Amino acid sequence: MNPLFAFQLRRVGRNRQYLLFTVLLPALFTVFFTKIFGGLAAGPAEYQEEAARYMVSMMAYGGLGAALGATIRISFDRASGWLRQLRVTPVSQTEVFGVDVAVGALLTLPSLVVVALVGRFVNDVQLDLSTWLTLVGALWAGSITFVALGLLIGLALDERAAGGAIGFVGVVLAALGGLWAPVEVFPDSMVTLAHAMPSYWYADLGRDIAAGTAPSGQAVLVLAGFTAGFAALAVLVARRRPLYAVAG
């Protein structure tokens, strides 16, 4: 294993609070929303539909939260002077970026898996094994959009602002993207807004898969576009203010 990757992983592993909250909150929401809205279902078929949809929404919520939380840590490492210190060792800047992307991507997986397990064993969501695997795989791949967004926020803001910013961005993405209340109950103007959110398309990937259809090309394209946009902005910010620049 790449030594820097192992090093970064061990550091995140020590941060139990971070791990607990990124996994616990979406898992609890999954139970909470399904109990409320699933209870209103007219029959078992409708319950399955509601329960699967909330599970997918919470997988999306958990995945994006974990991706943002993991990647803004780059702003902490800048603030402490560690990235500056690392810059005067033979470790390349490409490796520093690459490892943070990989760690961010890896850390979204526990939230996705835990929410899926809660969906299956607490809320009794029934899907084929291959559908479960495709669902987790697709949402894992799609989380790269939020890895890119988290890096952008972590590079652009100082460490205190970045922490606050992802709280805000997480809520906006979840609420407006239809992860907490489904877009079906939104007024028309807010539906348009929802469609402008990457979180809507991210959950849309999962909704299609859970419903047994292939993800829409539109969702894939929109997410790819957002990812490219966030990554390009992150590169631009990093050029103006390199990783090793003194914080502030």
Q: Which positions touch other proteins (CB under 8 A)?
A: 3-4, 7, 10-12, 14-15, 76-77, 80-82, 84-92, 244, 246-247
Classified as helix, coil or strand, 228 is helix
Encode 76-99: b = buried (16+ Cβ within 10 Å), e = exposed: bbbbeeebbebeeeeeeeeebbeb
40 or 88, CB closer to other proteins?
88
Residue 100 CB, shortest distance to other proteins, in Å, is 12
7 or 32, CB closer to other proteins?
7
90 or 212, CB closer to other proteins?
90
Q: Is 160 exposed, middle or buried (0-12, 13-18, 19+ CB in 10 A)?
A: exposed
84 or 195, CB closer to other proteins?
84
Rg (CA), the chain: 19
Residue 242 CB, shortest distance to other proteins, in Å, is 8
Residue 92 CB, shortest distance to other proteins, in Å, is 7
Contacts of 31 (CB under 8 A, 6+ apart): 118, 122, 123
What is d(CA 177, CA 198) in angstroms, rounded to the nearest whole number?
Answer: 7
Torsion of CA 92, 107, 229, 217, to 10 degrees: 130
10 or 121, CB closer to other proteins?
10
Residue 201 CB, shortest distance to other proteins, in Å, is 34
Residue 241 CB, shortest distance to other proteins, in Å, is 12
| DSSP, residue by residue, 146-159 | HHHHHHHHHHHS-H
